[in-house]
Amino acid sequence: MSNTIETIKEQISTNDILLYMKGNPRAPQCGFSSQAVQALMSCGERFAFVNILENPDIRAELPKFANWPTFPQLWVKGELIGGCDIIVEMAANGELQALIKEAVGSSEE
């Protein structure tokens, strides 16, 4: 069990932009994951993802670790940004693009 938490911490720390989702960006397995992927893709930057349907341990442990009960979950620079509603809202008002550009820009320095 603690191995799962270690895996989650490693995934979050090694990927500047990470989306925990159902399915994958080309074939999301739920509407919320699909909306989150579309919002992220509109930013034009690459992002990592973890398909929680293929990782039941992560699916079980991440909500406790993150104190966030639902998926998808967007993590940027080690910080939980939020789920679908927050991602879509941030994309609509331009905050998501700025956050993603900043995350990518700071990792290239």
Binding residues for glutathione: 22, 59, 71, 84-85
- Secondary structure of 63-104 in the HEC alphabet? HHHHCCCCCCEEEECCEEEECHHHHHHHHHHCHHHHHHHHHH
**Which residues are annotated as part of the binding site for [2Fe-2S] cluster?**
30
Nearest-5° Cα angle at 80, 23 to 22: 10
**Which residues are annotated as part of the binding site?**
22, 30, 59, 71, 84-85
Q: How many CB atoms lie within 10 A of CB 94?
A: 9
